[in-house]
């Protein structure tokens, strides 16, 4: 953990350790971002606080220090940035556990997207949905299918024992092993990813039941 924090401090020379409790380590200061998106170039520093969990069960998060307008859709009222869905970050951490990698893939692009949105009035890569719609969208991207089939694959992951010779829940007509097998196994063999999938599936189903009951 010490090494992971030191790596962040090395990468962000204008940030420093602030505080810690049993769950999080807080690092604050300025994050300097020099990045471009399409024709737009951003070279600016942002006052932020990073909250790094001590356990890998939790995800790090960022609280903005007043740079992002409060009416921007992707910021919570407490100033926490809506960076991405949890499953997107869990998958990214499974691939690369470095916090610097996380900053480069989620935090820096967040600010570039924000500035781009402010300047051009639209998102560079299309808007991301919120709440459970955003979660479904993540799984659609992960599995490269539509929403209905993403839910079928998620259902397979959460409830079924892996059987490669069965037909794939995406309804391609192929067997699981010749279709989404690799992705399904990735979920089933990584407890942290599996746990997030179960949580997301429950959230989505609950909202659907609520919507149906109305
Ligand atoms: Zn499939």
pLDDT in tens, 87-144: 999 999 999 999 999 999 999 999 999 999 999 988 887 677 777 788 999 999 999 9
* Confidence band for 34, pLDDT divided at 50, 70 and 90: very high
Using alpha carbons, select from 93, 83, 51, 106 the residue that is nearest to residue 191.
Answer: 93
CA of 206 to the centre of ligand 1 (A): 25
- pLDDT higher than 70, residue 1: no
How high is the pLDDT of residue 128? 73
pLDDT tens, residue by residue, 46-70 = 999 999 999 888 999 999 999 999 9
CA of 18 to the centre of ligand 1 (A): 47
CA of 150 to the centre of ligand 1 (A): 10
Domains in the chain: boundaries: 2-120, 131-213
For residues 40 and 202, give the distance between their C-alpha atoms in angstroms, rounded to a whole number. 39
Nearest-10 crossing angle of helices 147-159, 181-189:
50
For residues 58 and 212, give the distance between their C-alpha atoms in angstroms, rounded to a whole number. 32
Residue 157, token pair as written in the block: 């992951």
CA of 148 to the centre of ligand 1 (A): 13
Report pTM. Answer: 0.90
* Statement: 2-120 belongs to CATH 3.10.110: yes
């Amino acid at each position: 953990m010490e090494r992971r924090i030191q790596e962040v401090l090395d990468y962000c020379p204008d940030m420093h350790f602030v505080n810690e409790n049993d769950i999080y380590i807080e690092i604050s200061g300025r994050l300097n971002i020099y990045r471009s998106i399409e024709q737009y170039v951003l070279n600016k520093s942002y006052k932020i606080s990073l909250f790094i969990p001590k356990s890998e069960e939790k995800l790090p998060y960022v609280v903005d220090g007043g740079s992002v307008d409060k009416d921007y859709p992707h910021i919570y009222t407490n100033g926490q940035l809506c960076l991405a869905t949890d499953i997107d970050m869990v998958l990214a951490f499974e691939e690369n556990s470095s916090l610097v990698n996380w900053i480069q893939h989620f935090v820096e692009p967040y600010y570039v997207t924000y500035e781009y949105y402010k300047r051009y009035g639209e998102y560079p890569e299309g808007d991301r949905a919120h709440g459970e719609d955003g979660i479904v969208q993540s799984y659609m991207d992960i599995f490269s299918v539509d929403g209905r089939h993403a839910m079928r694959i998620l259902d397979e992951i959460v409830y079924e024992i892996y059987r490669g010779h069965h037909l794939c829940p995406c309804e391609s007509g192929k067997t699981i092993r010749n279709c989404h097998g690799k992705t399904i196994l990735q979920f089933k063999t990584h407890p942290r990813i599996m746990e997030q999938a179960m949580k997301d599936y429950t959230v989505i189903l609950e909202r659907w039941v609520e919507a149906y009951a109305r």
